[in-house]
Amino acid sequence: MIQDPTIWRAVFTGTTPLHLIAAVTQSLADRTPIPRDPSRIPGLARDRMTVHTHHVAAPDIAFALERRVSALAARHRPATTAPPAPHGRSPRRTR
């Protein structure tokens, strides 16, 4: 019987960007509670955490959803760039 099974593992190699390692480390160290659906938490994980539930009003949830969708849409807006140069041969000068 496994006494202390691993729930998940992260592996960083020498090619992993430092900003990614820093972001994961910062997220793991953050003590802010993470809202989760209790029915979607794996059994092994439930033994290693404290779960608190409370009811949230439907308008609050709708507002949070709108805010999240707006934030995701803002992340995926294309950046304004110059139009690409046309492909093909450059025009030759005539005499």
Give domain limits for the chain.
18-75
Cα 44 to Cα 5: distance, rounded to the nearest angstrom: 8
The pTM of the full predicted model, rounded to 2 decimals, is 0.39
Q: Which residues of the chain have pLDDT under 70?
A: 1-7, 78-95
Report the pLDDT value the prediction gives residue 62, as an integer from 0 to 100: 80
Report the pLDDT value the prediction gives residue 54, as an integer from 0 to 100: 78
Report the pLDDT value the prediction gives residue 17, as an integer from 0 to 100: 92
Cα 51 to Cα 36: distance, rounded to the nearest angstrom: 9
